[in-house]
Amino acid sequence: MDNLIRKAVIPCAGLGTRFLPATKAQPKEMLPVFDRPAIQYIIEEALLARIENIVLVTGRGKQAIENHFDKSFELEHYLKLRKQYKLLKNVENISELADIFYVRQKEPLGLGHAINCVRSYISNEPFAVFLADDLIYSEKPAISQLIEVYGKYKGAVLAVEEVPKEFIMQYGVIKPKK
């Protein structure tokens, strides 16, 4: 089956208030989960689903994300000198994962605004949106399951999570107008 979704948008411009104080000086997307930052799991999931074009919507203070996926000449040189080849290969692989593009959201105005910042990149193609807030472990990546549903119905597909009432405001959910 042809890959129906070839583009991904990953909004990373938020302030990370749900994870304070851990996110005061570090982007929430860079918080470690086991042996790597959350954002790396998301990029890897997109690649497993054969999504080839990835754009991250970043904001002020998110340079660590770009640095993580960039080459690190000094670190690579240091690891070579110390003959730490396994670590070297791991570091080199991160910068070769994918071609990642970055768009800056100048102020944190929400998810819809972040996606609107990349409207010219998306054009009229279907695309996936990944959020770094929740990681979903499954044998078949969650995004691959959503892409299959999209292929069947040719319409927007959302994965949702039930949130306890006392946490709704932390997730940006608003009360609908009647």
Domain range annotation of the chain: 7-71+98-171
Mean pLDDT of 58-62: 90
Q: How confident is the model at residue 23 (pLDDT cuts 50, 70, 90)?
A: confident
Compute and round to an integer the Cα radius of gyration of the chain: 18
pLDDT reading at 175 higher than 80: no
Average pLDDT taken over every residue of the chain = 88
Look up the CATH superfamily of 7-71+98-171: Spore Coat Polysaccharide Biosynthesis Protein SpsA; Chain A (3.90.550.10)
Q: How confident is the model at residue 10 (pLDDT cuts 50, 70, 90)?
A: very high
pLDDT reading at 173 higher than 90: no
| CA-to-CA dists, residue 66 to 27, 29, 170, angstroms | 11, 11, 26
Q: Can you say how many angstroms the Cα of residue 6 is from the centroid of all Cα atoms in its chain?
A: 15
Q: What is the pLDDT of residues 67-106, one digit of tens each?
A: 999 999 999 999 999 999 999 999 999 988 888 999 999 9
| CA-to-CA dists, residue 56 to 29, 36, 49, 62, 117, angstroms | 11, 18, 17, 10, 10
Q: How confident is the model at residue 155 (pLDDT cuts 50, 70, 90)?
A: confident
pTM: 0.85
